[in-house]
Structure 1
Amino acid sequence: MNKANKYPNFPSDCKSLLSKYLTKEVFEELKDKTTPWGFTLNDAIASGVQNSDSGIGVYAGDIESYSIFSSLFDPIIKEYHGFEKKNLHISNLNADDLNAPNPDPENKYILSTRIRVGRNIANIPLGPAISQEQRNEVENQASKALTSLEDKLQGKYYPLDGMSEEVAHKLIEDHFLFKAGDRFLEAAGLNRQWPKGRGIYHNDEKTFLVWVNEEDQLRIISMQKGGDIKEVFQRLTSAISKIEEKIEFSYNKHLGYITSCPTNLGTALRASVHIKVPNLANDYKKFEKITNKYHLQIRGINGEHSQSLGGVYDISNKRRLGVTEVQCVQDMYDGVVELIKVEKDLETK
């Protein structure tokens, strides 16, 4: 890994949290420090230095990055999550605690529901610092755990390396295939040795999917058409507990589940629906007022920075750290119930 030695110059229009909190004093304090896996400050800030339009601009290379470079990570985590150094994260993956009867049984508004979590394996560095040998070890552990799943989670693992065009085409059709990461992930070192050590698992019913060695070592996804949010969450939590019987995940009491991007810390959970609200879309202020009330994010149909099509939006929880998984999904559910109610009122007018 590279050693940091020169304070970076950020352009005057740079608004990243890295440029805000990497003062010259912080830089001098951290520039010669290295984690046990050989990860340096220079490695942590590489993506934000190369991409001045980053929102955050830092990635952790291992769990130790968060303590060794804490004078940079702590203020970023505090601003993004509103989470202090003294706070402890509490996890709750008990689906029975979620109060979420289907808000749209006729499937008039909610097209689909998707809940995912990021997970990384304990005692192995994260994607930006992982070696090829370690990445292969992650793939080996993950594919063994996944192919041992039974009943409705039973399925098949597809390695990306050496994948046939026929299989790739099928996975693209199902929107399951992931590509090498964007320029932000590229600069963070997350695309190294692509596509070696990466793969995709999905169950036979195509309602459960795991990406291996994408941005996080495991991205575990539960999804289905329609608005039965509780069913999607139950499938996810049941799968997580089964995988955890075979794999220990990286976790600590302060930051919860450890991820390379600090925005995903805590629950590492994103619960989302594709929802059709054409009338609300015409009153964006009212739309935003509801989503802000429930700590939700509005995105276009193809995720971040994309546009809406036909009044369909991707609505997901914003909070991840300092709230439980159940609270994240409950936020999303309660917000969606209100969005549907307001959309119905607007239809009658």
Structure 2
Amino acid sequence: MTIDRFLQHRASSWMTNEGEHADIAMSTRIRLARNLDDFRFPYVFSADEALKIDKEVSAALLDYGEELGHRFAHIDIQELTHLQKEILVEKHLISPYLAQSEHPGSVLLSEDEDLSIMINEEDHLRIQSLQPGFQLQEAYERANQLDSMLEKNLNYAFHEEYGYLTSCPTNTGTGMRASVMLHLPALTMSHQINRIIPAISRLGMAVRGIYGEGSEALGNVYQISNQLTLGKSESDILEDLQSMTEQIIEQEQKMREAIRSRSPISLEDRIYRSLGTLMYARLLTTEEAATCLSDVRLGIDLQLIDDVDMSILNELMIFMQPAFLQQFTGEQLQPKERDHARAELFRKRLRQEKSINHTEGEDHV
């Protein structure tokens, strides 16, 4: 497999609208931080050490990875163009930190893009499992299976009292970050999210935007994740996040019904105006596109729109980002030009989808 395969306008398996509570929980991620015992941490290691780590980890996975039923591709980050790196970030396959890193690093990607290992990010290894919908246990089991296979062939830095040793003390212990990406338009519209976020933080959870730490909650999409890993087991972390997420989902469901009951015409008008904008606009900023996507997604969830597939919206949320747009057009674009290309992409994709659904409806009749 070459890098070109992962740069296509093709949906990753985690973008499908599947899994429990998929109307609100868009995806689930488990990330495990690991380091090799015989090397210094990435903040202070040499380029030679980085290359040796890459070689050891890659050899362990490529030699034994097929035991997991997956084929993996090894991609050297240093050999990629800036645009190619940004596309992998936009697809959530690597972190912004790895894309910007100056020391040798790479990523091992499974064919369906739901498993990956970033090498020489903040830690020697960042094992990642992505699943659609609300599937914490499934995502963890897949990440843990990959981790266990690697641990048989690599000597991890581990302390009997403190657990897995990591570059950042907040990751020491299990080394696990579990997160769920949630679409919360009703809680945002009602401003209840401003009350919920501080409460979540007080309970040891973090709330971030679509691309993690430092990113904005574009299109009413938030990531909820654990903050603490030391002193808690993996099962404790998963149980706490499961409970917290279920409560947020329940509050979002109640608020959706309240908004719909209180002002149904205003809600429908907002949703259909947003659909019209996405289908006919000639210029679309990232923020406007994200807001309209959120409204249309809500319209599908409330069964007000029945001729647009939710998975198309999941794809467009990724493909509307700057790097993908520039690959889509085949040229470097200034911000205003990206707004034009984004609008064109939405018009083509949504009209194509509605045309397909209309034809299928006629065939059915």
Indicate the TM-score class for this superposition, using the shorter chain for normalisation.
0.5 to 0.7
Equivalent position SS for 2:79: coil
Question: Which residue is 2:245 aligned to?
Answer: 336
Mark the runs of 5 or more structure 1 residues left unpaired by the alignment.
1-102
Deviation of the 1:168 alpha carbon: 5.2
User: Higher RCO, 1 or 2 (CA under 8 Å, sep at least 6)?
Assistant: 1
CA RMSD of aligned residues (A): 2.6
Question: Which residue is 1:156 aligned to?
Answer: 73
Which one of 207, 211, 223 corresponds to residue 314 of structure 1? Answer: 223
- TM-score (structure 2 length as normaliser): 0.59
Distance change >3 Å, CA 290–CA 333, structure 1 → 2: farther
The yes-or-no answer on 1:115 pairing with 2:1 is no
Native 8 Å contact 2:208 2:224 kept in 1: yes
Tell me the matched-pair count.
237
1:226-266 per-position Cα deviation (integer Å, ceiling 9, x unaligned): 11221111100100000011101101123211111112111
Match for 1:208: what amino acid? L
Task: Out of 261-270 and 156-165, give the one that drifted further.
Answer: 156-165
Question: Which residue is 1:305 aligned to?
Answer: 214
For 1:312 and 1:173, how far apart are their aligned partners in 2? 15
1:27-74 per-position Cα deviation (integer Å, ceiling 9, x unaligned): xxxxxxxxxxxxxxxxxxxxxxxxxxxxxxxxxxxxxxxxxxxxxxxx
Structure with more helix by fraction: 2
Equivalent position SS for 1:136: helix
For 1:234 and 1:181, how far apart are their aligned partners in 2? 25
Which one of 3, 14, 20 corresponds to residue 105 of structure 1? Answer: 20
Distance change >3 Å, CA 143–CA 104, structure 1 → 2: closer
Of all paired residues, the percent bearing the same amino acid is 27
Equivalent position SS for 2:78: coil
Which one of 249, 252, 255 corresponds to residue 159 of structure 2? Answer: 252
Distance change >3 Å, CA 340–CA 139, structure 1 → 2: same
- 4+ residue runs over 6 A deviation: 164-167
Distance change >3 Å, CA 173–CA 257, structure 1 → 2: same
Which one of 160, 171, 183 corresponds to residue 264 of structure 1? Answer: 171
Question: Which residue is 1:135 aligned to?
Answer: 50
- TM-score (structure 1 length as normaliser): 0.62
Native 8 Å contact 1:294 1:334 kept in 2: no
Distance change >3 Å, CA 153–CA 179, structure 1 → 2: same
For 1:347 and 1:117, how far apart are their aligned partners in 2? 35
Query: What does 1:85-234 align with in structure 2 at a 5 Å threshold?
Result: 105-148=20-63, 149-150=65-66, 151-163=68-80, 171=88, 174-178=91-95, 191=101, 194-196=102-104, 198-234=105-141
